[in-house]
Structure 1
Amino acid sequence: MKTSRRRYAAAAAGLVISPAVAVLLPAATALAHGYVSAPPSRQAQCAQKTVQCGQIQYEPQSVEGPKGLRSCSGGNGRFSDLDDDGKAWKAATVGKSVTFTWTFTAKHPSRDYEYYIGNTRVGMFKGDRSSLVAHTVDLSAFTGRQKVLAIWNIADTANAFYACIDLEVQ
């Protein structure tokens, strides 16, 4: 009898305390998605506070939009700072090839990864399920300051994740 009263009391206390805990705890950032972390993408630079940005500094992994876009922000107005070529983006110095490393906070099934300079696709890689994705892209046709658009096309949705990386190609 005492055991069942204790269980009932514990269950009742849990029902009373749980909503209070949920309200009092700070909301966590959603674990979702990914971005290019090396060389540092524009959203990585925002998160590291290398460049002053808006909301993207808190969610570098969340630049998601419909497949087929060609914008750094993925068409997301909250992240429009990423489309501003006039900001003081730091360009990583690279040789005739560069390895782009993706950081994921939640993995989606991948269709493929694409890399563009302007309208020229400079790399395409099949999707995989590894937790660390790195692609080496040949940039031998380019010199000087370049902006690379990296796109992670998701296999099971109509969306993709976008990242722009500023480079100085030697």
Structure 2
Amino acid sequence: MPATRTKRGIGILALALSSMLFSVFVADAHGYTTAPVSRQMYCADGTVTNCGEIQWEPQSVEGPKSFPKAGPRDGTICSGGLSRFSQLDDPRGGKWPTGAVTAGTATFTWRLTAMHATTSFRYFITKDGWTGTKPLTRADLEPQPFFTKNWNGRQPGSTVTDTVTVPSGKTGRHLILGVWDIADTGNAFYSCSDVRF
């Protein structure tokens, strides 16, 4: 009887320890856009409140890759399909802060807290007429990324800067979706940035 209790106690302790280690690993992972400023960055720096867990883990919006063929389902794209970050999918009545962008050359930046072998960084933009008053769907986005930087499995450093060409002809409010495709896992990281032309 005592041996059974000891084994059970050791098993519970091992489970608790592995859960703690997993939590630490998740909290240390992975990346988000800082330019243009992403929704998760606005939550992390306190510009936007009532964000839930994402305020402490802006880098953790990790979901299935192969977007737009696969990946997070419509309406959950900004959260990477993670219900614990669902505040990122909430349109907030179209009131997310916007950063100013113009057509032409721009610098986009990712802050990475854990580096991964990388397939690519890709950027999508919403179609004309998008108002930001409902959760993001694939139908809201132009079908192809307007910029892709291939990494061919290389591992980036803690900051990734891309010189991109922002599409011309856009006016008013839009959303830019950054997707960091990981080469050696089945996942990608998602980062939504509200912008105004």
Same fold (TM over 0.5): yes
Aligned counterpart for 2:182 among listed residues 126, 133, 154: 154
Which residue of 2 is the match for residue 116 of structure 1? 124
CA distances 1:2-56 after superposition (whole Å, capped 9, x unpaired): xxxxxxxxxxxxxxxxxxxx9xxxx867321111012210000000111111110
> Partners in 1 of 2:107 and 2:170 — Cα distance?
15
Which residue of 2 is the match for residue 130 of structure 1? 156
Aligned residues: 144
Moved more, 27-36 or 147-156: 27-36
User: For residue 85 of structure 1, what is the amino acid of its counterpart?
Assistant: P
The alignment-based identity, stated in percent, is 47
Shift of 1:57: 0.3
Which residue of 2 is the match for residue 39 of structure 1? 36
Which residue of 2 is the match for residue 4 of structure 1? none
Moved more, 151-160 or 61-70: 61-70
Larger relative strand fraction: 1
User: For residue 110 of structure 1, what is the amino acid of its counterpart?
Assistant: T
> Partners in 2 of 1:51 and 1:41 — Cα distance?
11
Can you give the 5+ residue segments of structure 1 that lack an aligned partner in the other structure? 1-21
Can you give the 5+ residue segments of structure 2 that lack an aligned partner in the other structure? 1-16, 18-22, 126-140
**Scaled by the length of structure 1, what TM-score is found?**
0.78
Indicate yes or no: 2:90 matched with 1:84.
Answer: yes
Q: Which has the larger radius of gyration?
A: 1
Correspondences of 1:8-87 after superposition (within 5 Å): 30-52=27-49, 53-67=51-65, 68=67, 69=71, 71-86=77-92
State the SS of the aligned residue for 1:30. helix
> Partners in 2 of 1:51 and 1:143 — Cα distance?
24
Shift of 1:100: 1.3
User: For residue 52 of structure 2, what is the amino acid of its counterpart?
Assistant: G
Shift of 1:143: 1.8
